[in-house]
Structure formats: C-alpha cells, structure tokens
Amino acid sequence: MFTNFGFLDLGTPELLIILAIILLLFGGKKLPQLSRSLGESMHELRKGIGDTNDGKTKTDEDKPKKGSAA
C-alpha cells in the first residue's frame, strides 16, 4: 500500500527512509524534544498568520460594537 502526500509525491517507503535517517542523526532521546519544539513552532506560525487578517481575530469579530443596538 503506497500513500502519496500531495505535492511532495512521497510514498510510504520514502517516508520510512527519511524517518530512519532522522532517527540516526538525532537519536532516540532527542526526538521527543525535537518534535515538541516543531509543534510549538507550527502553533506560533499559525497564530501569527491568523493575527495578520487586518489586525482582527475571530474574537474581535464576535464582540458587539459600542453604541450599536443588539
């Protein structure tokens, strides 16, 4: 069973090879720390991208405007 991952065109064997190389480079003890920091970076990136929409977030849109009738 082969799985293609969009534009990267990577199948299951390629992903297993990449994961094995990462395991050899960083070791088993560093992988949880590496994946945690990668997840935090992605979270901050998504948060930053969400804040660039005219300086408004979803919570700003939900707030009623002052002086307007509800």
What is the mean pLDDT, run by run of 10 residues, along the chain of 70 residues? 62 89 87 89 90 58 59
Q: Evaluate whether 40 touches 48 at the Cβ level (below 8 Å).
A: no
pLDDT for the residue numbered 51: 75
CA distance 51 to 4: 32
Q: Evaluate whether 70 touches 62 at the Cβ level (below 8 Å).
A: no
pLDDT for the residue numbered 23: 87
pLDDT for the residue numbered 40: 94
CA distance 11 to 3: 5
pLDDT for the residue numbered 7: 63
pLDDT for the residue numbered 63: 58
> How is residue 35 written in tokens?
């994946």
* DSSP H helices in the chain: 12-26, 31-50, 58-62
Report the predicted TM-score, pTM, of the whole model to 2 decimal places. Answer: 0.44
